[in-house]
Structure 1
Amino acid sequence: MTIEGTTGSDPSNHEEAHFGRMLSAEAGAGRRVAYGSLPDQYFEWFGDPHTAGTVVILIHGGYFRERTTLAHVRPMAHALVSRGERVAVALLEYRRAGGAGGHPRTLEDVENAIAHAAESVGDVRWVVAGHSAGGSLALSWATRQQECGPEVRVRPLAPVTDLVAEARDGLGDGAVVDYMGASPAEDLSRYLEEDPRSRAALIPARLDVLLIHGTRDATVDVAFSRGFPAARLEVEGADHFDLVDPQSPLFDAVVEALLG
């Protein structure tokens, strides 16, 4: 499936500036809840989870690196609450590479944060979404779920779907190798514990997986989503950050895919 939008010039010339605009945008923090004792083990609630009909777990990206926090995705969290009906968003922070994170600690944080959020909310429709590296974490989380349980929408946005390929190709200036702590040649076993592409068959049927990717993504090529065995929505003309930027004219496609 493809959603069409404006195209313009090569997105590789604009993505850094686009991300810079998002980093400079100010948006209020949500209600902070700790799910662990360490500084980065918390999430922020936007909207009221106790009256919500839909709860979105939102996992930010940033190539797993310490320097990128959840702050740049706060505008998206606010937008989902305002555009949806009875929607609450749990925006997750987690330990990251360069700090206390990295494999397997980062994914453990995501698992613990989602479990903590679920414990405090009743019978709702669940959506687990993540952008870029956050999309990889959402997919890896999905591969670790049991066959029995509630139905969940899994909506990775421009996800890193293949950690082995990303490490081999040195994408993101070696971000994946930094995150995993070794190359696949040095320790393939740790990749098989987390790599979404290698573990895709383990995702239970109760999880409704739809990958959403822009066709002009210059950071994580749309080919990564095209090579993943799941349904896919391509947003024509979208760059890497259009999918998490409420100011983008293409953001409505993301809202519909998450909440529609």
Structure 2
Amino acid sequence: MSLPGRVSSETRAAAKSFLRRRTAVFFTFLFPLLIVVIFGALVQTQPTGGGLFTEAPAYYVPGYLAVVVLFTPLSRVGSEVARHREGNRFEKLATTPLSRGEWLAAQTLVNVAIIGLAGALVLAVMVAVTGAEIVLSPLLAVFLALGVALFCGIGALIGSLADSQDGVISASNAIAIPLLFLSETFVPPYLLPEWFRPLMDLSPLTYFSRGVRAVVTDTGPSAEGTVVAAWPSGPEPLFNLVVLAVLGAVAFAIGTIALPRTD
């Protein structure tokens, strides 16, 4: 069987495995919508004149999308790796033509499809609930795919190092929750201490946030909180796209190497 055939076959198997887990399907699609409703409708519609959630609704698009781009690959791929380890499946995988990279590529493709659907649903609900004015760009789909690939690689690394599925969930949350709020998603940089702002460049999610915000909005906040022109088609989204692609390739390679050959 050819490489495309092997990846395609494993992708179908991974998709069926996901669909059989109804709880995973439920929370993959429902949890982000709850975030949109809570923060977008209940909080966003009661501005206080300063502080959190007082920017234009479109500013928070990267944050809402990050909920699925970040949490879902980390927990799903990490848990899948942990299940394979507990069931000695990697030992069986070593006897087949399917390589570890091909296995991770199949898992990534499934996550790209799932999160693409969840992301589209999040955007639709957000626009309906908050009235956000966004620009739909083909680059948005590219950012989503690269972000998913990046965190699938990190999820594979977590699953390879954690001692159990419970350990995967704990480690995933410990990584995802700080990144979700400290990567230019829900909290604008000017609300954080000045000494901390350069550290945000160390988060891979920051480049996802900056790029997505640039391609879906016509305006963005300055360091003082005032509104200035953004770069929907300029170098800013392309720079973040390149950085995200490089980080994604590195994370995928490390995740592939970390996958056990045997159990």
Give the TM bin, normalised by the shorter chain: under 0.3
Q: Greater strand share, 1 or 2?
A: 1
Q: Greater helix share, 1 or 2?
A: 2
The higher-RCO structure (CA 8 Å, 6+ apart) is 2
TM-score (norm 1): 0.27
TM-score (norm 2): 0.27
Larger radius of gyration: 2
